Amino acid sequence: MVGRTLDWNDELGRWLKPFVDRLGHRARRRMCPLYVSGLIGPGDRKSVQPMAKRLVLGEYDQLHHFIAAGVWEASPVETELLVQADRLVGGRDAVLVIDDTALPKKGTHSVGWLRNMLRRWVRPPIARPWCR
């Protein structure tokens, strides 16, 4: 188990490779895995500056530029997303539904925080057999 925990970054890199290959520019290919690992990795603050500090990037500006100012063609990445989703879900009649409303919000200033909290307090979660 410890080995699997320690190499999550390597596994993430392998999973992201088809997407990163479609980004084109070398700087984008370098920043994308760092940004994604900052989002899903340890640390409560997911804004660019704290992530840049955690990821030991020499410069906050590079990550900020990747997020805020990078203008690039999204269709190659979207095409790869369709390919990978089809590979994972499979089948002509398969449907992939992504519902992020069940994710807990952090803090009281997050958009939708009150609505999500009320939903938890007022009604119990619904067991959905199709969700794992």
Residue 4 in this model has a pLDDT that exceeds 70: no
Q: Look at residue 110 in the predicted model and tell me its pLDDT.
A: 63
CB distance 16 to 29 below 8 Å: no
* CA–CA distance, 109 with 112 (Å, rounded to integer): 9
Q: Look at residue 80 in the predicted model and tell me its pLDDT.
A: 92
Domain boundaries, the chain: 2-89
Give which of 27, 49, 28, 29 is closest to 38, Cα–Cα.
49
Q: What average pLDDT is seen over the chain?
A: 76
What are the Cα distances from residue 44, in Å, to 56, 105, 106, 107? Answer: 16, 11, 9, 10
Residue 13 in this model has a pLDDT that exceeds 90: no
* CA–CA distance, 100 with 96 (Å, rounded to integer): 13
Share of the chain above pLDDT 70, in %: 67
Give which of 42, 43, 19 is closest to 31, Cα–Cα.
19
Residue 1 in this model has a pLDDT that exceeds 50: no
Share of the chain above pLDDT 90, in %: 8
Using one digit for the tens of pLDDT, what is the confidence trace for 36-56?
888 888 777 778 888 888 876
